Structure 1
Amino acid sequence: MAETGTQVERVLDRLLPKPERGEPALAEAMRYAALGGGKRLRPFLVVSSSRLFSVGESCALRVAAAVEMIHCYSLVHDDLPAMDNDDLRRGKPTTHKAYDEATAILVGDALLTQAFEVLADVETHADPKVRIALVTALARASGAAGMVGGQALDMAAEVTPLTDIGSITRLQRLKTGALFEFSCEAGAILGKVEDSRRGALQAYAHDMGLAFQIADDLLDVRGRAEEIGKTPGKDQAAGKATFVSILGLDRAEAQARLLAEQACRHLDVFGGRADDLRAVAHFVVDRRA
């Protein structure tokens, strides 16, 4: 994952606009939000799934960078006072704290739109049908039927709290899981694969994504700011229902491990070639940040 993170960092550094003297701080703030931080988990899923279908590394890394742009935009907007009102992200001040709210909003807008510019470029894939499929799938995963829709449910839950596991699972499947699903499916799209292997990756992403979110809820209770890079205890302080608040710490941890094991079983069709994806399913449960 560290190696993939370094490779994606280089691609992002090349793709993101460079600050110019006398221009507004937008380019500088985009680079602040996207470079030099994070686990690069979603890019790792893109690259790992692409290897399963012998996709060229340069193509996979461009898609990985586009996914990371979407993820970083979502973090910038989530941290705004109108949303989660956070001061700390990836161990440093959030973008609206380092710059200002208007710049942070524009940073998110710019990262979002540039992600689709990257996918639509011929350098990402020579086949225009593949590029269209990537754009369509990422738009669905990041829009109202995916990540943004999940964030809307999350905001609504601050007014009318969720009370059951089914509702929380739906929220998190949209807010977090949809982008994981695209990241795992991207390799199959790039490899022009339409068979059951693509479905296996979708099923893996579903279970791994839920395991990731339960672990995130556990970190919100157990973690320290210097370890997790963001302010802990915010969900509890806001009165939000989470997997932990409903299941309790022990049951939530057991459920996360069960989901990780279940996610790995979906990869049987790939044999040992999917060991990186199996490892990351366990990593998301065991991580401390």
Structure 2
Amino acid sequence: MGFKEELKTKSAYVEGLLNKYMPKEEGYQETIFKAMNYSLSAGGKRLRPILTLEAAKIVGGDDKEAIPFSVAIEMIHTYSLIHDDLPALDNDDLRRGKPTNHKVFGDAMATLAGDALLNYAFEIMLKESIDTENPNLKLKAIYEIARGAGIYGMIGGQVVDVESENKSIEKEKLDFIHMNKTAAMIVGCMRAGATVGGATEEELENITKYAKNIGLAFQIVDDILDIVGDEKVLGKPIGSDIENHKSTYPALIGLDESRKVAKNLIEEAKESISKLSGDSEFLKDLADYIISRDH
């Protein structure tokens, strides 16, 4: 099976898990379930849950133990997208080729849908920890995800990103934005999966290096695609970074140099993951996919 087929198979597996965990659209709060499902079922690459499961496997763990965490990370990611699209932030009309959540359900319900997905994610993870004989590893995994999504991770990066609009910023601050806004969640989900899988400190260190590098490369490629991408393929308007006066790698160092930086990051990521004793071929191929993707 080639990489693209394998990725498609793994994505379909994650879709099935998400469907299993999502609540039925019924009851007095039916609207919030519909709003949650609308964005969660809109597609996407499902890279974060896949990375969570792969991190558990590559350290010799049972990836089934990481399933609740993989589902939770996608819910947290989806909540962040719903909130990003709101008029108060990026004010986007399309996400993955569909009208954004607030365009369908209104600003108030979209805000609540994001809140609901975030809270439900932690409900799922905590229930998993409570219902196990030895909760310590799973509580540590929850911490990794919480930190990656919080003020020292994604939200921290988003704050600096918002405050940097219409300003010329140095590369150090741009790196901080990208490492926190995007890479921190990837680091969090992979460290969570590896922790549940029983990783050693050395394994965690190499997984962290891999995750940081692909996370930063992922965001640089996003910056590039916002300039040269195909709107129909991306499923959202291009040029929003320029329209919102955001600092990006292409704006700071140019398109060609940005591509070089992304390529170097991917090579470093593959080197780090190759140091683990488990089968690293899929994760190396995934790293290559990140810089070759068109959406």
Above 0.5 in TM-score?
yes
The alpha-carbon deviation at position 60 of structure 1 amounts to 2.2
User: Which is worse superposed, 17-26 or 30-39?
Assistant: 17-26
The alpha-carbon deviation at position 163 of structure 1 amounts to 2.3
Look up the SS of the partner of 2:128 in the other structure: coil
Look up the SS of the partner of 1:26 in the other structure: helix
**Structure 1 segment 89-238 matched on structure 2, within 5 A:** 89-122=95-128, 126-159=133-166, 161-238=167-244
Look up the SS of the partner of 1:47 in the other structure: helix
One-letter amino acid of the counterpart of residue 145, structure 1 = Y
**Structure 1 segment 70-89 matched on structure 2, within 5 A:** 70-89=76-95
Q: Distance in 2 between matches of 1:38 and 1:125?
A: 31
One-letter amino acid of the counterpart of residue 187, structure 2 = E
Question: TM-score with structure 2 length normalisation?
Answer: 0.93
* Equivalent pairs, count: 288
Q: Distance in 2 between matches of 1:97 and 1:163?
A: 32
Q: Distance in 1 between matches of 2:49 and 2:155?
A: 19
User: Which is worse superposed, 102-111 or 124-133?
Assistant: 124-133
Q: 2:24, 2:33 within 8 Å by CA — same for their partners in 1?
A: yes
Alpha-carbon spacing, 1:64–1:73, altered in 2? closer, same or farther (3 Å)? same
Percent identical pairs in the alignment equals 36
Q: 2:68, 2:124 within 8 Å by CA — same for their partners in 1?
A: yes
Q: Partner of 1:7 in structure 2?
A: 13
Q: 1:4, 1:43 within 8 Å by CA — same for their partners in 2?
A: no
User: Which is worse superposed, 203-212 or 20-29?
Assistant: 20-29
The alpha-carbon deviation at position 57 of structure 1 amounts to 3.2
Q: Distance in 2 between matches of 1:285 and 1:116?
A: 31
Q: 1:59, 1:125 within 8 Å by CA — same for their partners in 2?
A: no
Structure 1 runs of 4+ with >4 Å offset: 21-24, 123-126
Q: Partner of 2:64 in structure 1?
A: 58
Q: Partner of 2:47 in structure 1?
A: 41
The alpha-carbon deviation at position 261 of structure 1 amounts to 0.5
User: Which is worse superposed, 2-11 or 273-282?
Assistant: 2-11
The alpha-carbon deviation at position 126 of structure 1 amounts to 4.5
Gaps of 5+ in 2: 1-6
User: Which is worse superposed, 35-44 or 49-58?
Assistant: 49-58
Q: 2:39, 2:101 within 8 Å by CA — same for their partners in 1?
A: yes
Q: Partner of 1:269 in structure 2?
A: 275
Q: Distance in 1 between matches of 2:28 and 2:216?
A: 45
Alpha-carbon spacing, 1:127–1:157, altered in 2? closer, same or farther (3 Å)? same
Gaps of 5+ in 1: none
Look up the SS of the partner of 2:70 in the other structure: helix
User: Which is worse superposed, 244-253 or 129-138?
Assistant: 129-138
Give the RMSD, CA atoms, in angstroms. Answer: 1.6
The alpha-carbon deviation at position 225 of structure 1 amounts to 1.6
Pairing partner for 2:255 from 249, 260, 265: 249
User: Which is worse superposed, 83-92 or 36-45?
Assistant: 36-45
